[in-house]
Structure 1
Amino acid sequence: MSDDDRLPAADPPAAGALGRVTIATLVAAASGYLVLLLAARYLGAAGYAVFAVFWAAYGMVTGSQNGQLQETTRTVRAAVDGHSATTARPWLVNTAIGGILGAIVAATSPLWSAHVFTDHRWLSVVLLSVGVASFAVYAHLAGALSGSVSWGAFAVLLSVDALIRLVGAVIAVVVGADVTAFLIITVTGSVSWMLLLLTSPSARHAVGLPGDVGSRRLTANTLTAMAAAAASAVLVMGFPVLINATAGRSADTATVGAVVLAVTLTRAPLLVPLNSFQGVLITRFVDGRDHLATALRAPATGVAAIGVAGSGLAWLAGPWLMTSVFGADFRLPGATLAALTMGATVLALLTVTGAAAIAVDAHRWYAAGWWCATVASVALLLIPVGVQGRVALALAGGPVVGMLVHAVALGRRNTVPTAAATRD
């Protein structure tokens, strides 16, 4: 590794750095909700249905690409911290993966696109293919900035990505554009990496940093992380689909709709910001891999405390908020809302243990934990009890199984010498 590639090992992120990331996370979350609100109010039910399906499809595919961000963070941080750096460049690996993934989307589209995109079918396929290829570079840059603790540039990248979509949506409404504009807006945010590379010296330095393993190992690690992220996307973004698929014909549709909405609302306060903090967590755990229990304690305690407090609020105020904001059809008891909030808390804790597992190079265990959680959640959704009880059990039970798998991996890493800790 050249002198230009070397960065000093960093202390844990300062309050100012975390504050910038927190603000960027809030901006991103608020912008996303505003885009959806503008689309719903402007396009109407039919147009919004077309947009929402494409938004979800893009989110599902790019959700798996978060594995690129996670592994890039780990490998860059490990190299910066003094592990053996290589001549391999993670940006080449991530760009190649993104290009191949985009090509796969395009090549396979005749098999599935007619079932997913009822309108604007081929435009949606083209945008999805180009969007996932661009997102691969975005994910790489976000991971490289996290691994090199360039939190200011990372916060700018996160904010610009979201604001591009919001500004585009406002312009579309002002000029009277149709649903086509909103489809394009969905993917344009990921080009924020271009703007940052043009304007930020930190980004230009970070994008070419090496990792701690060669290209072949890095590719395998990245694909494994993407497999785990795919399971996470199913469990997080796809859970409402699983609820509908397992509800059965005898289920009350109003209750199912209320439960699906409640799951979405109770997850957002924890999972939306935690997803943006993945780079921060992985960097923390790579730096603290020799004292992993200590490094885990603060984020796990914080997530648990927020979850317990949120569950109490959901029990007391949730039923009133549901009916007051969304209408009388969305009536659920406080106990159900509290249970759903606790399920979201356990899922957030699984995200934390997953970040720790990938930080210590336990990629297969990381993926196994997420897939075991997904399979367990689906199985629990099939038990013969009411939809409220099944969903609450599935939300909490599946992630508990996943955390147990991660705990085995982390326990193994604490009982082997450091030199062996990178063996999976």
Structure 2
Amino acid sequence: MTTAPEPASPRQSGGLSRGDGILVAAASIIAALSNFVIMFLGTRTLPAASGTEFLAFWSLLTGMFGVISGVQNETTRAVGAVASGARRGVRAIGPSLIIGVIVALIILALTPVIGQRIVPISGGTALPALVITTVAYSAYVTLVGSFGGQGWWSHYASLLASEVILRMLLMGTVLVIGAYLGGYVLACAGATAILFIFLVFSRRSRQAFISRADDNLLAMVRKNLLAVVSTSCTAILITGYGAILTGVAHGSEPLLLGGLILAVSLTRAPIMIPLTAFTGVAIKLFLGHRDAPMKAIVKPVGALLGLGIIGGAAAWVIGPWFVGIFNPGYHIAGWVFGALTFSSAIIAILTLFGTLVLALDAHVIYAVGWLIASAVAIGILLSPVGLALRVVLSLSVGPTVGCLVMLAWLAITAGAQKPEDQQTVGHNDLQN
């Protein structure tokens, strides 16, 4: 984070320079590495039951982050549209805070279930922290999304990295004082306070925080709600899956349950955390390729599939050994690691399709694709087959179905536009 004087005339082009790309990549790497450190500390320095509950809380917290990230995506789109010349509407922070309060109230209503089945040991600390952090995080992602929409990528990357670094410092402080579950819970939730540090010390942050969206209050609340419905489904499949698994498999042996939660988290982080950090960049780039969306998506999809195959093969071999570093009592088969790693590539592709659909302003299709994917995944997770196989199938089949839904819409849209383009070309030829 910088406290130096900032230019009076903000850069509106939104282009991502090589230096900015390196900064965003560095922030995503820091986030990915910190995820490993956080899970290592929680499982290594706490008793088995508390360690498993910490993994469940971390999944619950990051699941909430995933839900609220819909606000970030919509803010990036709306602020970016204004920066590109669209009409100015309401300030983006207003609709974002409304969404944050709504989500916080839903969490508050669910606290009896969450406290009983997911965080029974630390509920007195975890539940209030989760509710308060939800509102604060909605403001935080508004600032992140505004930075992305304005094209202020160095500030975007600095904010992402600083939030992660603050969490690590808080976790380290708890470790030094004396590791305990409640302290780790507060450390993880408290890092959102980085928002206030940026607002106090950075004028550019204050400018971004009051950026305007491209529509009125009611329209922006509606669009944010649709985005949050979609990212809620995303959270079910990615960050919040461990918490859902804990609720479904409540009462299972802690080492088995903890090992599966850890395996899911470990195989998601290498692909999903960097992709999430680049979501704002992807939306901005796709906005520039709205005339040829299928062409824009081909190479990224191919790269993710290749990464999934290579990563899956490597995870099959090293996964069982690696999970033992976190807790020697965790025993997960190699094929589970390999399959979960490949499934993370499918989820990443679904995320990319969703980002493209969102950039095309098709909020309903975005929501429907993720909703179907999560419904299929949860349906499989509730089936009576073995727990490990259930997890693998739910995280593979659900996202695949979601991809097919969005791909079908993109193909139909491209097919509908092509004849119109041909007619336009023919008309121009006649004129010439």
* TM-score band, normalised by shorter chain: 0.7 to 0.9
- The gaps in structure 2 that reach 5 residues or longer are 1-7, 419-432
TM superposition shift of 1:7: 5.3
TM superposition shift of 1:24: 0.9
Match of 1:211 in 2: 213
The answer (yes or no) to whether the contact 1:366–1:406 under 8 Å persists in 2 is yes
Counterpart CA distance in 1 for 2:99 and 2:36 is 30
Letter in 2 for 1:225: A
Residue identity over aligned pairs, in percent, reads 27
Counterpart CA distance in 1 for 2:47 and 2:177 is 16
The answer (yes or no) to whether the contact 1:105–1:129 under 8 Å persists in 2 is yes
1:192–1:324 distance in 2 versus 1, CA, 3 Å: closer
TM superposition shift of 1:135: 0.3
TM superposition shift of 1:130: 1.5
Counterpart CA distance in 2 for 1:57 and 1:104 is 14
Query: Which digits, 9 at most, give the CA deviation of each residue in 1:212-231, with x for residues without a partner?
Result: 22221111110111111111
Match of 1:398 in 2: 398
Instruction: Answer with 297-306 or 155-164: which moved more.
Output: 297-306
Query: Could you tell me the TM-score, scaled by structure 1's length?
Result: 0.84
1:50–1:112 distance in 2 versus 1, CA, 3 Å: closer
Q: Does 1:307 align with 2:311?
A: no
SS at the partner of 1:8? coil
The answer (yes or no) to whether the contact 1:64–1:233 under 8 Å persists in 2 is yes
Match of 2:279 in 1: 278
Match of 1:407 in 2: 407
Match of 1:201 in 2: 203
Counterpart CA distance in 2 for 1:130 and 1:190 is 10
- The gaps in structure 1 that reach 5 residues or longer are 419-424
The answer (yes or no) to whether the contact 1:153–1:200 under 8 Å persists in 2 is no
Counterpart CA distance in 2 for 1:181 and 1:339 is 34
Superposition pairs of residues 2-151 of structure 1, within 5 angstroms: 8-11=12-15, 13-45=16-48, 47-48=50-51, 51-82=54-85, 84-106=86-108, 109=111, 113=115, 116-119=118-121, 121-151=123-153
The answer (yes or no) to whether the contact 2:63–2:241 under 8 Å persists in 1 is no
Instruction: Answer with 141-150 or 117-126: which moved more.
Output: 117-126
TM superposition shift of 1:40: 3.8
Counterpart CA distance in 2 for 1:202 and 1:414 is 39
Match of 1:264 in 2: 265
Match of 1:291 in 2: 292
SS at the partner of 2:291? helix
Letter in 2 for 1:278: T
The answer (yes or no) to whether the contact 2:264–2:340 under 8 Å persists in 1 is yes
1:348–1:359 distance in 2 versus 1, CA, 3 Å: same
Match of 2:4 in 1: none
Aligned residues: CA RMSD: 3.4
SS at the partner of 1:86? coil
The answer (yes or no) to whether the contact 2:93–2:210 under 8 Å persists in 1 is yes
Query: Which digits, 9 at most, give the CA deviation of each residue in 1:81-103, with x for residues without a partner?
Result: 23x32231111111232234334
The answer (yes or no) to whether the contact 1:377–1:398 under 8 Å persists in 2 is yes
Instruction: Answer with 149-158 or 232-241: which moved more.
Output: 232-241
Number of equivalenced pairs: 412
1:328–1:178 distance in 2 versus 1, CA, 3 Å: closer
1:121–1:321 distance in 2 versus 1, CA, 3 Å: closer
Counterpart CA distance in 2 for 1:238 and 1:309 is 25
Superposition pairs of residues 208-357 of structure 1, within 5 angstroms: 208-240=210-242, 260-318=261-319, 330=331, 332-334=333-335, 336-357=336-357
Counterpart CA distance in 2 for 1:305 and 1:93 is 39
1:223–1:47 distance in 2 versus 1, CA, 3 Å: same
Match of 2:187 in 1: 185
Instruction: Answer with 216-225 or 237-246: which moved more.
Output: 237-246
Letter in 2 for 1:23: A
Counterpart CA distance in 1 for 2:263 and 2:57 is 23
Match of 1:157 in 2: 159
The answer (yes or no) to whether the contact 2:71–2:141 under 8 Å persists in 1 is yes
Query: Which digits, 9 at most, give the CA deviation of each residue in 1:127-175, with x for residues without a partner?
Result: 2222111000001111111111211111111111111111112222323
